[in-house]
Amino acid sequence: MAMLRAGARRFALLSIAAALATIALKSLAWWLTDSVGLLSDALEGTVNLAGATLMLVMLSVAARPPDEDHAYGYSKAEYFASGFEGTLILAAASLIAYAAVERLITPQPLDNVGIGIAVSVAASAINYAVARKLFDAAGRYNSIALEADAQHLMTDVWTSAGVVVGVAAVSLTGLLWLDPLIALAVAGNIVWSGIRLVRRSLYGLLDRALPAHERSALNRILERYRAQGIDFHALRTRQAGARSFVSVHVLVPGQWSVARGHDMAHAVERDIRGVLPGATVLTHIEPLGHPESYRDIELDC
């Protein structure tokens, strides 16, 4: 786990480098054109930088091994990074909307549109390339922090595309109000991205169950054992950052020896980890048909 987290941190450093490069390029594009749309794009770049920096810190925290006070590890730290990034996105959207409304009230002509667009496109190309790498790394390391950053960067790419279209439209038509109007649309898109990130982070902190496709894979394993006369209940799953947890009661024939029931439980755990690599699996053996075996199906209230 520690080696995997170290690999994830390398991608966080890549995101920080990309954020610094795109902030410089987009700020240059705004300075050249005086476009509030390009200013909005540059402001979102600062959000990328802040989010990527916190992501690096939280990935380092998540890499810590379990200890006496945190027996299940620190993997939930990743949710703080994605939640913080979502909050920063919402703050940036407010600043963008404020600047856009001011420019809508007092339109101003744009300068050096061609070179400004070219610089912005170069910055977007960097974001796109890094986002693709982060998506791959998020799947490899099962990291919600990397996935959140990748989603944000990809949103930034589409946002930049909208801004470039808006600036080009102003240049071609002379309609100055198109620039702040595009900036307002950018702000709306950013708000939606921020809300999604915050919501997913909250779900993680609330111990949400594993994704549906993972639960389906888990249930297929259990059905295979049910065909052998074994039963299960009290199945519970949860996701904590890169780690997943499964607990289930295994019901075996009452006449079995403790050793045979123990071996069956280990076989179940092994097969569950086969479809959920890295999962922490906890089983509890109970006798089939015994009334007490079914008294603890529901969570305590």
Selected from 3.30.70.1350, 3.40.190.10, 3.10.310.10, 3.40.50.300, the CATH number assigned to the domain covering 212-294 reads 3.30.70.1350
The 10s digit of each residue's pLDDT in 93-137 is: 777 777 778 777 777 666 666 777 777 788 888 889 988 988 888
> Which architecture, in CATH terms, is 2-205?
Up-down Bundle (1.20)
Per-domain residue ranges of the chain: 2-205, 212-294
Buried-state track 165-184, b at ≥16 Cβ within 10 A, e below 16: ebbeebbeeeebebbbbbbb
CB burial of residue 46 (10 Å; 0-12, 13-18, 19+): middle
| pLDDT score recorded for residue 5 | 55
Which residues of the chain, if any, have pLDDT below 50?
A: 1-4, 301
| pLDDT score recorded for residue 7 | 67
Query: What is the pTM (predicted TM-score) of this model?
Result: 0.63
| pLDDT score recorded for residue 3 | 45
* CA proximity to 288, closest of 217, 202, 197, 225: 225
